[in-house]
Chains A and B, each alone.
Chain A
Amino acid sequence: MIFRSYTEGNSFLHRMNPAMKLLTLSLFLMVPTLFLDPATPLAFLLLSLLLALILGRISPFKLLHQMAPFFVVMLGICVFSSLFYGGPKSELLLHLGPVTVYREGVAFGLSIGLRFLCVLSYSSIFVRTTDPTLLASSLIHQVHLPYRIGYTVLTAYRFIPILQWELSNIRDAHKIRGGYREGIWARLGRIRRYGIPLLSNGIRRAERMAISMDARGFGTALKRTYYRPTSLRTSDVLFLIGSVLVIVCTLIGLNRFGLLRGFLAGVAESLVEH
Chain B
Amino acid sequence: MTEFMTEFAIEVDRFSCRYLENGPWVLENVSFQIRRGETVLLLGPSGCGKSTLALCLKGLIPHTIAGETRGKVRIGGTSVGEEIEISGEGIVFQDPESQLIMPRVDEEVAFGLENMAVPLSSMDERIDRALSKCGLASYKKQLVETLSTGQMQRLALASVMAMQPSIFIFDEPTANLDPEGTEHFYQDLRALKGSMEVTIFLIEHRIDMALPLVDRVLLMDQNGRIAADGEPHQVFENGPTGRDRIWLPTACRLTEMLKNGGYAVSRTPLSLDETEALFRRVFPRLQINSGVSERASISHSDPAVPRHSSVASPSASTDKVPAIAVRGVSYSYPSGQVALDRADLHIDEGTFLALIGANGSGKSTLAKAISGLIRPKEGQISLFNQPANRLRGSQFMQYIGYVFQNPEHQFVTERVEDELAYSLKRQYPPEDLVFRTGELLDSFALRGFEEANPFSLSQGQKRRLSVATMVALKQPILILDEPTFGQDPDSARLLMQHVQRLHKQGKTIVLITHDMHLVLAYGELTAVMYRGRVIFQGTPDELFRESEILVRASLSPPFEVQLGQRLGDPSLFTRGDWLERLSALQSGLL
What are 15 A-B residue pairs whose CB atoms fall within 8 Å in the complex? A151-B101, A154-B102, A166-B409, A176-B401, A176-B404, A193-B412, A196-B455, A209-B101, A212-B93, A216-B159, A217-B87, A220-B84, A224-B117, A225-B120, A227-B114
B117 touches A221 (CB 8 A): yes
Looking at the assembled complex, report how far the CB atom of B411 sits from the nearest CB atom of chain A, in whole angstroms.
7
Q: Inside 8 A of A205's CB, which chain B residues have their CB?
A: 95, 97-98
Q: Inside 8 A of A228's CB, which chain B residues have their CB?
A: 107, 110
Segment touching B, from A34-42, A94-102, A155-163, A257-265: A155-163
Q: Inside 8 A of A213's CB, which chain B residues have their CB?
A: 101, 111
Is A69 located at the chain interface by the 8 A CB criterion? no
Q: Inside 8 A of B397's CB, which chain A residues have their CB?
A: 176, 178
Instruction: Knowing A174-B412, A175-B393 are in contact, say whether A158-B100 is a contact too (CB < 8 A).
Output: yes
A221 touches B116 (CB 8 A): yes
Chain A residues numbered 196-243 whose CB sits less than 8 Å from any CB in chain B? 196-197, 200-201, 204-206, 208-221, 223-229
Is B394 located at the chain interface by the 8 A CB criterion? yes
Contact among B86, B98, B118 for A209, CB-based, below 8 A: B98
List the 9 closest pairs (A to B, CB-CB), nearest first.
A217-B86, A227-B110, A217-B115, A212-B99, A173-B409, A216-B112, A208-B98, A205-B98, A173-B410
Q: Inside 8 A of B286's CB, which chain A residues have their CB?
A: none
Is B408 located at the chain interface by the 8 A CB criterion? yes
B145 touches A161 (CB 8 A): yes
- Give bound CA distance, A253 to B397, whole Å: 65
Is A62 located at the chain interface by the 8 A CB criterion? no
Looking at the assembled complex, report how far the CB atom of B282 sits from the nearest CB atom of chain A, in whole angstroms.
47
Contact code string A44-77 (vs B, CB < 8 Å = 1, else 0): 0000000000000000000000000000000000
Is A5 located at the chain interface by the 8 A CB criterion? no
Is B353 located at the chain interface by the 8 A CB criterion? no
Additional 7 contacts, C-beta under 8 A, given A161-B145, A205-B97 = A174-B410, A196-B411, A212-B93, A212-B100, A216-B90, A224-B115, A225-B118
Looking at the assembled complex, report how far the CB atom of A136 sits from the nearest CB atom of chain B, in whole angstroms.
9
Q: Inside 8 A of B396's CB, which chain A residues have their CB?
A: 176
Is A177 located at the chain interface by the 8 A CB criterion? yes
Contact code string A110-137 (vs B, CB < 8 Å = 1, else 0): 0000000000000000000000110000
B103 touches A132 (CB 8 A): yes
Contact among A157, A162, A177, A214 for B103, CB-based, below 8 A: A157
B64 touches A224 (CB 8 A): no
Looking at the assembled complex, report how far the CB atom of B107 sits from the nearest CB atom of chain A, in whole angstroms.
6
Is A179 located at the chain interface by the 8 A CB criterion? yes
A162 touches B408 (CB 8 A): no
Segment touching A, from B55-63, B199-207, B323-331, B485-493: B55-63
Contact among A157, A161, A177, A218 for B115, CB-based, below 8 A: A218
Q: Which residue of A lies closest to B401 (CB)?
A: A176
B394 touches A178 (CB 8 A): yes
Looking at the assembled complex, report how far the CB atom of A174 sits from the nearest CB atom of chain B, in whole angstroms.
6
Q: Inside 8 A of B470's CB, which chain A residues have their CB?
A: 176
Contact code string A138-163 (vs B, CB < 8 Å = 1, else 0): 00000000000001001101100110
Looking at the assembled complex, report how far the CB atom of B525 sits from the nearest CB atom of chain A, in whole angstroms.
24
- Give bound CA distance, A225 to B501, whole Å: 59
Chain A residues numbered 177-201 whose CB sits less than 8 Å from any CB in chain B? 177-180, 193, 196-197, 200-201
Contact among B60, B145, B404 for A172, CB-based, below 8 A: B404
B99 touches A180 (CB 8 A): no
Q: Inside 8 A of B104's CB, which chain A residues have their CB?
A: 133
Is A26 located at the chain interface by the 8 A CB criterion? no
Q: Which residue of A lies closest to B97 (CB)?
A: A162
B163 touches A223 (CB 8 A): no
Looking at the assembled complex, report how far the CB atom of A202 sits from the nearest CB atom of chain B, in whole angstroms.
10
B423 touches A172 (CB 8 A): no
- Give bound CA distance, A229 to B93, whole Å: 29
Is B106 located at the chain interface by the 8 A CB criterion? yes
Is A255 located at the chain interface by the 8 A CB criterion? no
B55 touches A211 (CB 8 A): yes
- Give bound CA distance, A155 to B470, whole Å: 36
A216 touches B411 (CB 8 A): no
A158 touches B410 (CB 8 A): no
B114 touches A215 (CB 8 A): no
Contact among A197, A211, A216 for B111, CB-based, below 8 A: A216
Is B352 located at the chain interface by the 8 A CB criterion? no
Instruction: Knowing A154-B103, A224-B115 are in contact, say whether A214-B60 is a contact too (CB < 8 A).
Output: yes
Q: Inside 8 A of B64's CB, which chain A residues have their CB?
A: 210-211, 214
Looking at the assembled complex, report how far the CB atom of A134 sits from the nearest CB atom of chain B, in whole angstroms.
10
Is A270 located at the chain interface by the 8 A CB criterion? no
Q: Inside 8 A of A223's CB, which chain B residues have their CB?
A: 117
- Give bound CA distance, A197 to B410, whole Å: 9
Q: Which residue of B lies closest to A180 (CB)?
A: B393
- Give bound CA distance, A228 to B422, whole Å: 53
- Give bound CA distance, A9 to B119, whole Å: 27
Instruction: Knowing A158-B144, A162-B97, A201-B408 are in contact, say whether A176-B115 is a contact too (CB < 8 A).
Output: no
Q: Inside 8 A of A225's CB, which chain B residues have their CB?
A: 113-114, 117-120, 123
Q: Inside 8 A of A174's CB, which chain B residues have their CB?
A: 409-410, 412
Q: Which residue of B lies closest to A6 (CB)?
A: B103
- Give bound CA distance, A156 to B131, whole Å: 25
B65 touches A211 (CB 8 A): yes
Chain B residues numbered 398-425 whose CB sits less than 8 Å from any CB in chain A? 400-402, 404, 406, 408-412, 422-423
- Give bound CA distance, A218 to B423, whole Å: 47
Q: Inside 8 A of B65's CB, which chain A residues have their CB?
A: 211
Q: Which residue of A lies closest to B413 (CB)?
A: A193
The CB with the most chain B CB atoms within 10 A, among A180, A201, A219, A220, is that of: A220
The CB with the most chain A CB atoms within 10 A, among B98, B101, B470, is that of: B98
- Give bound CA distance, A175 to B396, whole Å: 10
Is A170 located at the chain interface by the 8 A CB criterion? yes
Instruction: Knowing A214-B84, A220-B84 are in contact, say whether A201-B406 is a contact too (CB < 8 A).
Output: yes
Q: Inside 8 A of B159's CB, which chain A residues have their CB?
A: 216
Q: Inside 8 A of A214's CB, which chain B residues have their CB?
A: 60, 63-64, 84
Contact among B60, B98, B373, B455 for A175, CB-based, below 8 A: B373
Contact code string B161-178 (vs A, CB < 8 Å = 1, else 0): 001000000000000000
A178 touches B423 (CB 8 A): yes
Is B469 located at the chain interface by the 8 A CB criterion? yes
B423 touches A177 (CB 8 A): yes
Q: Inside 8 A of B98's CB, which chain A residues have their CB?
A: 162, 204-206, 208-209, 212
Q: Inside 8 A of A206's CB, which chain B residues have their CB?
A: 98
B99 touches A176 (CB 8 A): no
Looking at the assembled complex, report how far the CB atom of A159 sits from the nearest CB atom of chain B, in whole angstroms.
9
Q: Inside 8 A of A175's CB, which chain B residues have their CB?
A: 373, 393
Is B91 located at the chain interface by the 8 A CB criterion? yes
B368 touches A172 (CB 8 A): yes
- Give bound CA distance, A132 to B371, whole Å: 39
Chain B residues numbered 143-195 whose CB sits less than 8 Å from any CB in chain A? 144-145, 159-160, 163
Contact among A132, A162, A173, A226 for B120, CB-based, below 8 A: A226
Contact among A133, A177, A217 for B116, CB-based, below 8 A: A217
Is B426 located at the chain interface by the 8 A CB criterion? yes
Q: Which residue of A lies closest to B93 (CB)?
A: A212
Q: Inside 8 A of B244's CB, which chain A residues have their CB?
A: none
Is B83 located at the chain interface by the 8 A CB criterion? yes
Q: Which residue of A lies closest to B88 (CB)?
A: A217
